[in-house]
């Protein structure tokens, strides 16, 4: 399978040196499951897109520091591209910002979460819809790092997993789109360093509880496996 990574952010140089960019993180996770997957990166912030939709078999939209409602020219172009993917029933994975963008473009609504920042490892519980997809687990743990979230689902979208503070945590739309608010590409050390960087923004209480939550193992590979199974 050939997967196109729609890269929507550039990490700080100190992070890149140790962890790579988002496409590198996804490559490590996916190749741990299937080393035959070929990943192609399209830096959409720089206007780089495939010449044809079928240049790859499926697409993945990464996380980003941007909000989907920011007034940025590159975002306007990306939103049109997401519409094209949906209209063509092209397989698509949305991660965090990508999860929110799909909802915003396809008739839903993204905005600030009522609780504010949601960081650290959180447990998400599956809905009955997940069982229809062959998912037998009751729940999973995943790192979250967001202050925006999906407030209203895209038209036709269905929730397959929720957390107490993020009801629309993981969704599917038809048989071609799957999205999740959490970050299966993050390892524990990267998540910890992000928390340290934003410590003053979070405040000591939230920072402390988020760091403590990182002691709970995240189900990164299992979530990646579910995402890949869906688009295959």
185, 29 Cβ separation under 8 angstroms? yes
* pTM: predicted TM-score of the whole model, two decimal places: 0.96
Structure tokens at 166: 């993020």
Q: How far apart are CA 104 and CA 107, in angstroms?
A: 6
149, 110 Cβ separation under 8 angstroms? yes
DSSP string, 131-167: HHTT---SEEEEEEEESEEEEEPPTTEEEEEE-SS-T
pLDDT of residue 111: 94
pLDDT of residue 69: 94
**What does each C-alpha distance from 9 to 44, 129, 172, 193, 200 come to in angstroms?**
9, 32, 24, 17, 22
Minimal CA–CA distance to 65: which of 3, 157, 146, 129?
146
Minimal CA–CA distance to 7: which of 57, 65, 69?
65
- Which phi and psi (to 5°) does residue 74 adopt? -65, -30
In this structure, how many other beta carbons lie within 10 angstroms of the beta carbon of residue 52? 7
Burial class (CB in 10 A: 0-12, 13-18, 19+), 144: buried
Structure tokens at 134: 């062959």
Q: What is the pLDDT of residues 130-178, one digit of tens each?
A: 988 889 899 999 999 999 999 999 999 999 999 999 999 999 999 999 9
Q: How far apart are CA 12 and CA 101, in angstroms?
A: 22
Q: How far apart are CA 116 and CA 2, in angstroms?
A: 37
Per-residue pLDDT of the chain (232 residues; tens, 9 = 90+): 999 999 999 999 989 999 999 999 999 999 999 999 999 999 999 999 999 999 999 999 999 999 999 999 999 999 999 999 999 999 999 999 999 999 999 999 999 988 889 999 999 999 999 988 889 899 999 999 999 999 999 999 999 999 999 999 999 999 999 999 999 999 999 999 999 999 999 999 999 999 999 999 999 999 999 999 999 9
CATH code: domain 2-231 is 3.40.50.880
- Give me the residue spans of the domains in the chain: 2-231
Structure tokens at 54: 């079928």
- Helix, strand, or coil here: 228? helix
């Amino acid at each position: 399978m050939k997967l196109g990574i729609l890269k929507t952010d550039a990490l700080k140089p100190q992070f890149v040196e140790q962890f790579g960019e988002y496409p590198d993180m996804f490559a490590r996770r996916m190749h741990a499951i299937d080393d035959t997957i070929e990943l192609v990166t399209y830096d959409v912030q720089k206007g780089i897109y495939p010449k044809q939709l079928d240049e790859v078999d499926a697409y993945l939209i990464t996380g980003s520091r941007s909000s989907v409602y920011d007034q940025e020219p590159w975002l306007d172009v990306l939103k049109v591209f997401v519409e094209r993917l949906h209209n063509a029933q092209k397989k698509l994975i949305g991660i965090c910002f990508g999860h929110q963008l799909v909802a915003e473009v396809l008739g839903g609504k993204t905005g600030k979460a009522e609780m504010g920042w949601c960081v650290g490892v959180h447990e998400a519980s599956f809905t009955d819809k997940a069982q229809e997809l062959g998912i037998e687990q009751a729940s999973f743990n995943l790192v979250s790092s967001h202050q925006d979230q999906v407030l209203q689902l895209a038209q036709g979208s269905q929730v397959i997993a929720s957390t107490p503070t993020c009801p629309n945590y993981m969704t599917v739309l038809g048989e071609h789109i799957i999205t999740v608010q959490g970050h299966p590409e993050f390892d524990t050390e990267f998540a910890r360093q992000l928390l340290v960087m934003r410590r003053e923004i979070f405040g000591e209480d939230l920072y402390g509880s988020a760091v403590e939550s990182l002691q709970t193992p995240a189900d990164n590979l299992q979530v990646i496996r579910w995402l890949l199974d869906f688009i295959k």
